[in-house]
Structure formats: structure tokens, C-alpha cells
Amino acid sequence: MTIELHQASLQLDHREVLSGVSVRVEAGEIRSVIGPNGAGKSSMLALLSGERQPSAGSCLLESKPLKSYGIEDLSRRLAILHQQSSLDFPFTVDEVIQMGRYPCDTSDSFDETIVSEVKTKLDLEHLSDRTYITLSGGEKQRVQLARVIAQLWDQLGQAVFLFDEPTAPLDLTHQRQFLQLCEEMKLAGACIVMVMHDINLASRYSDQITLLRDGHVLADAAPALAITESLIQQAYQIDVTIEDLGGRRVLVY
């Protein structure tokens, strides 16, 4: 699957939150979208998921306009994790993850296998029977991630994942675990777009970085080209230096 925005703009309340954004994410690619608060990162995901229609330009999935897909059709190709979930009812962890399998016409036993595989990948087995609302913020996030990943786990070669700040509430171990899982899914052909705040984490695990500021694309390139002192200074208005730590470029501020 490939997903792309072509000269896409988005207006909300008479304000242009994205102007002429063009990006193309290939199958087998991890793309991080970074930028300061209000730069238009979540709006970009809203366009890519079809939740909002661009006011100008277009959004294409497999070179076909996104809006030509019905929502059921789309849910079998694209899975999205929003920033916060409003789930406030006592479901068990297993029940929540199973909801991700709703769009798929697969058997219950097949779905159970998928749920347990995804749980293993995200270190959730020991929480299976716990009630979702009693979990900590990071645990809840992992459950929601598992739900979103379970949605397309059996067809990673035909999958687009959109994650809005997936690692924000996670501890170091689970951040790494999740990003390694993304690499694994990428190798299986998944197309992954995520909004990130941790620039070092983003540059380490992404193939491409899209740097946004005020609804414009400042950079759209491999991490080494997108994460430079001058571009980061321009985007965030702070002084930064980039240092080489044993072959790994690290942003220091």
C-alpha cells in the first residue's frame, strides 16, 4: 500500500492548518511526522485517514482517491490510533483488542490467535483479563496500539498504519518494543506513518521524516537530511546541536 497527499490543504474554522502539503509514503516504509505543537501533524493524519477531506489537493491510497473507498473498505486497509481514547467502560484487555478485529470477516478462533500474537509482541499477556479502565496510562496505550495493530495483523503487506504520538505515554522499554514491532511490520510490507515528538527516537527508527511548521512542509527526507541544526532551529525556534555518538546522530538541546 502507498498513501500520499498531493498539494493538500486543510481549512478549519477559516484558518488554513495545512497548505499545499505533498508527501508520499511507500509500502515497507516508516515515516515520522515531526514539528512543534499546532504545526498540523494531527491534521495531516486526519487527511490521510479520510476523517477530513482536503479543502484543496487530494489524498490517494494506492493511487486512488481516498474518498472513493467506503468506510468499511477503508477499515480493511488502514488502521489509525488517535491521541486519546474516550473508553470509560469496564471492558477486559482482551475484549478491547478483539474490537480491532471487527472489520475482518475472519473466524473467532483466527481472531483469538491474532489477539494473542499481538499481545505477545506488546508485552500484554499478563494483563489479558484486567479491566481496561484500571490500567495505567502507558498500559492503556499499549492496549490501544494492540487493538489497532490487530486490525491488519494478518495482512501486513496490504496495510497502512497511522499512529498519533504512539510512544508518548510509554516507558523506555516499551517505546523500544513498539518501534521494533513497527520495523518488523515494515519488513512485512506495512506502510507506517507516525506523529512523533521525540526527534531522536524518530530519526533512529524512521526511513523518512516529514518536518512540519505552520502547516507547511519544511523538510521531507531521510533522517540525516531532515534533522539538521538549521532546520530544527527554524522549526522549533530553539538552539540545538547535533552530535555524533558512536555513529548515531543525536540531537542535543
Partner 1 sequence: MSRALTFTLLSIGLILLFLVGSSMGAVSINPIQLLSGVASATDQIIFFELRLPRLVMNIIIGAGVALSGAAIQGLFRNALADPALIGVSSGAAVFAAAFLVFGVQEPVLRLAGVSGSAFLGSIVATMLVLLVAKKSHSTSTILLAGIAVNAIALSAVGLLSYLSTDAQLRSVSFWALGSFNGVTWAMVGVAALSIPAMILIYFESSRLNIITLGDREATGLGVSVRQLRLRLIVGCAFIVAIGVSQVGVISFIGLVVPHLVRLTIGSNHKVLLPASAIGGAAIMIIADTLCRTLFVPNELPVGILTALVGGPFFIYLIIIQKNRSRL
Are 234 and 218 within 8 A, CB to CB? Answer: yes
Q: Nearest 5°: CA angle at 219, between 223 and 1?
A: 70
Contacting partner 1 within 42-61 (CB under 8 A): 49, 51
Is there binding between residue 36 and partner 1 (CB under 8 A)?
Answer: no
| Cα(102)–Cα(161) distance, integer angstroms | 16
Which residue, 52 or 121, has its beta carbon nearer to partner 1?
A: 52
Does the protein bind partner 1 through residue 71 (CB under 8 A)? Answer: yes
Using the contact rule CB under 8 A, the part of the chain among 5-13, 87-95, 114-122, 197-205 near partner 1 is 87-95
User: By the 8 A CB rule, do 214 and 18 touch?
Assistant: no
Q: Is residue 132 a contact partner of residue 49, using CB atoms and an 8 Å limit?
A: no
Query: Is 128 a residue that touches partner 1 (CB under 8 A)?
Result: no
Is 109 a residue that touches partner 1 (CB under 8 A)? no
- Residue 69 C-beta: closest distance to partner 1, Å: 10
Site string (145-174) toward partner 1, x via CB under 8 A = --x---x-----------------------
| Whole-angstrom distance, CA of residue 63 vs CA of residue 66 | 9
Q: Given the complex with partner 1, which of 79 and 227 has the nearer CB atom?
A: 79
Whichever of 108 and 243 has its CB closer to partner 1, that residue is: 108
Residue 75 makes contact with partner 1 by CB under 8 A? yes
**Residue 87 burial (C-beta neighbours within 10 Å; 0-12, 13-18, 19+):** middle
Q: Is the dihedral of CA 152, 153, 158, 162 positive or negative?
A: positive
Residue 76 contacts partner 1 per CB under 8 A: yes
**Helix spans in the chain (H):** 41-49, 71-75, 93-99, 108-121, 137-152, 172-187, 199-205, 223-226, 229-236
Q: Which residues bind partner 1 (CB under 8 A)?
A: 49, 51, 71-76, 78-80, 82, 85-92, 95-96, 99-100, 102-103, 131, 133-134, 147, 151
